[in-house]
Amino acid sequence: MGYDFSAQRQQLMTQLQHSGIHDPRVLHALTTVPREQFVDTSLHTMAYANQALPLLLGQTISQPLMVAVMTQALHLTGNERVLEVGTGSGYQAAILSLLAAQVYSIERHVQLSLQAAEHLKSLGYLNVELLVGDGSLGWPEHAPYDRIIVTAAAPYAPAQLLAQLHFGGSLVIPIGDQTLQDLQIIQKVEGGTQTYSLGRCVFVPLVGEDAWQ
């Protein structure tokens, strides 16, 4: 008999609501996507713990609260085209796939991208396209995007990501050094950008031409 995740999943949803996650579509997506399918089998019993978990190659699957905060900050209605930088396990992409029209996701590690593709396909999340490449340069072929989400820490907002964002769109990105960052919403407006802070966070570094070398 398989492990019963239902009680842990419901407990996590309660924690997220108490932490300020109020968008019903975001909560539903987090309830629907099986996080246990995106972590190593040795970590299945911790799949719904509210903490980041290790992946291959020194990467992580983000804490569920951080996934929820970043996703809620995108204010998705279901019609958007979203670029994700940092595919990782594919879990965040799966969440986005339920909330947006189309998701494009970039990962610099081939092995992680291949595993994510396998997970997403097997679970039926078919409105996600993956690319192995330098996420700091975005994915110009499909630009412009209504929303961009970066799941790795950058020293600043990469210029190419801002250039590939629609006017009126928003970029959610952790910015800071490699030990502590500020999670920011950067909205592209007439004449420039407006930036809002969502608070402190800790992510693995964004490595690329327009990020950490």
List pLDDT tens digits, range 45-82.
999 999 999 998 888 899 999 999 999 999 999 999 99
Structure tokens at 110: 């081939």
Local confidence band at 2 (pLDDT 50, 70, 90 cut-offs): low
pTM of the model: 0.96
Catalytic pick among 19, 62, 97, 136: 62
Query: pLDDT (tens digit, 9 = 90+) per residue, 119-173?
Result: 999 999 999 999 999 999 999 999 999 999 999 999 999 999 999 999 999 999 9
What integer pLDDT is reported at residue 1 of this predicted model? Answer: 43
Q: What is the mean pLDDT of residues 3-11?
A: 87
In sequence order, the 6+-apart residues with CB closer than 8 A to the CB of 55 are 39, 40, 61, 88, 89, 112
As a whole number of angstroms, the distance between CA 32 and CA 100 comes to: 15
Bigger pLDDT: 195 vs 2? 195
Active site residue 97: no
In sequence order, the 6+-apart residues with CB closer than 8 A to the CB of 113 are 87, 107, 130, 131, 132
In this structure, the strands spanning 102-107 and 165-176 are unpaired
Domain 6-201 class in CATH: alpha beta
